[in-house]
Amino acid sequence: HADEELKYASEAERKIEMAKRAAAEEKRKAGLRTIQKLVHGALANTLHAWVSFVKQAKHEKLVLARFAAKMKHRHVAMCMMTWCEYVGQRDFLRKFMKKLIGGRVFKEKAHALSVWRTFVFNMRELEASTGSANMQELVENLNSKVLELEAQNALLIGQLGSAKAAKADQAKKSMQRFIQQWKNKSLSLTMQGWKTYTKSAKEEKLKMVRFLRKMTHAWVAKCFEAWRDDIKGEKRNLFVIRKVAMRMQNGLITRVFNNWQEFVSEEKRNRVTL
């Protein structure tokens, strides 16, 4: 009976020990499963945070690219509008200058033609009255007439006496004055016309140079102002883009830090629970 009681006691202890071991093993497995769940949850949270971060970064990069493209297209449109305005103004000025120069040249040519026609009419009248074909022949004919008048005057002096000689001498002097006046008038008209044409040409050239210089300076100033405005716009847009990018980056860093804090807090809570 004592052996059987010892056997039964050993068997009961053995069962109790086995039950304890089984409970410990089950507790260990439950702990492992909990740790695995926690690890898998942390990995899932990390992966989810990383996916959200990448998606947000792509979206913000796309937004920045669109914003920069809009800014660039707006500046390109402004440059195109300025260039079209410049080309239109240049065409208008080119046509205006052609009309102005053409009108001035036409007036000068018309004036020169009028002077030339008057001179030709006078020459034709003199040619018709003297029978000469050119200026040299006309002068020679007039000189021959003067010589004829001198001979006639000498003859009249010999024939008519002092009174008629005085009249003949007066007629000779009148003819000489007429010839000299005609020569001086022709030379004076020619010289006056040449001086007027030269003076007008110089004045028109000076006015044209001043006008073109003013227009050139005006367009240079306008182009410089447009370039300066474009540089200011580029700097302002670059500052805005950098500011927006910095804000987005700071927001992402803040979200990552908050996620990391939550992850660390959850890890601490899980460790305390275990």
Buried b / exposed e along 238-262 (16+ C-beta atoms within 10 A): eeeeeeeeeebeeeeeeeeeebeee
Which pLDDT score is estimated for 150? Answer: 72
Which pLDDT score is estimated for 261? Answer: 72
Alpha helices, H only, 131-161: 135-160
DSSP tag of 43: H
3-state secondary structure labels for all residues of 216-259 = HHHHHHHHHHHHHHHHHHHHHHHHHHHHHHHHHHHHHHHHHHHH
C-alpha to C-alpha distances, 250 to 14, 52, 62, 210, 255, nearest whole angstrom: 64, 15, 17, 59, 9
Q: Is the dihedral of CA 156, 159, 163, 164 positive or negative?
A: negative
Which pLDDT score is estimated for 18? Answer: 79
Which pLDDT score is estimated for 166? Answer: 65
Answer for the pair 236, 74: CB distance below 8 angstroms, yes or no: no
pLDDT tens-place string over residues 43-56: 666 777 777 777 87
Q: Which two tokens stand for residue 46?
A: 């990390």
Which pLDDT score is estimated for 67? Answer: 74
182 class by beta-carbon count within 10 Å (0-12 exposed, 13-18 middle, 19+ buried)? middle
Which pLDDT score is estimated for 162? Answer: 59
Give the global pTM: 0.31
Counting as low any pLDDT under 50, the low residues of the chain are 2
